[in-house]
Amino acid sequence: MRQRLLFLLLFTVAIPLQAQSARQQLDAFARGLKTASASFQQVVTGPNGEKVQASQGVMQMKSPNRFRWEYSKPDVQLIVADGRKVWIYEPDLKQVTVKPQDALNQDNPLSALSSPEALDRFYTTSALPGKQGIQWLQLLPKQPENSPFDKAWLGFDANGLRSMRLFDNLGQVSEFSFGTWKRNTVIADERFRFTVPKNVDIVE
């Protein structure tokens, strides 16, 4: 579950990005952002490069600070951030976990999309060498003792963000690969609200 929570969101830029650094691409995408959506694939690898978990789903976001992640394979899970709280619903367990969204933002590199000031507030950033057409931005938590990961890498190509890698202190790497992003399309507010189903336990 923790790997999925690290998720919560970064996207692409719909302008030419070849001449821009990864940080400039991130800042360019955040400007004027109202909504974004894309499919994603997530692969978690162990210290020796072995595959631990693979999953996929669809993500939607809407400024300010509203996100929706739907995992469809291999297990169904729904994560909704409504701007105040984050709801993690696991149908198989008949359980929903509720967390304050402010606490989660410091663990989420992608919160910079709807709140660009959060990037420098929570992380020290630096450029990494480009490789195979992807430019990388490294994020180091300013409070590592409170972070579930040691570092994060955001990778951009000519079409925008393509990869996010999260490295934890156990040697695991969780990589998110993003599909084609739809920027500033209409997404109903109801997509970012969560109503607890009947007979479901609430964990806070």
Whichever domain contains 160, its CATH number is 2.50.20.10
Q: Which domain holds residue 62?
A: 2-203
Q: What is the pLDDT of residues 161-200, one digit of tens each?
A: 788 999 998 999 999 999 988 889 999 999 999 999 999 9
Q: What is the pLDDT of residues 45-75, one digit of tens each?
A: 999 999 999 999 999 989 888 889 999 989 9
SS (H, E, C) 18-41: CCCCHHHHHHHHHCCCCEEEEEEE
What's the total number of domains in the chain? 1
Is the bond preceding residue 144 a cis peptide, omega within 30 degrees? no
Q: What is the pLDDT of residues 97-137, one digit of tens each?
A: 998 887 555 667 777 666 667 778 888 989 888 888 888 98
Residue 169 sits at the vertex; the CA angle it makes with 2 and 129, to the nearest 5 degrees, is: 100
